[in-house]
Amino acid sequence: MDEERLQGGSGVAPQDPHMPPTGDDRVDAAVAALSRLPGTPADEHVAVLEEVHGRLRDILGELNEDPDRPVKPDTAKGLP
């Protein structure tokens, strides 16, 4: 997966003001790629969604491989 492409090509994941940070920069970068949807033709949405889903699946797999990875407290709580 092309990390720069997921980050919108800027090298930095833009933070959607409606999406709280998850506490994992990789997840934030993957989710930030969804911000490309409004400027993308509808027939390309599936590709963007599959790309984001694939990256999130990869990250989850990495977490399952490393159960000793520290988890930051008070993260990934989402919006009330």
Average pLDDT of the chain to the nearest whole number: 75
**Mean pLDDT computed over 33-58:** 93
Angle at which helices 45-65 and 25-32 pack, to 10 degrees? 170
Query: Residues 7-35: pLDDT tens digits?
Result: 444 444 455 667 788 889 999 999 999 99
Where along the chain do its domains lie?
Answer: 3-65
pLDDT for 34: 92
Secondary structure (DSSP) of 24-52: -HHHHHHHHGGGGGGGS-GGGHHHHHHHH
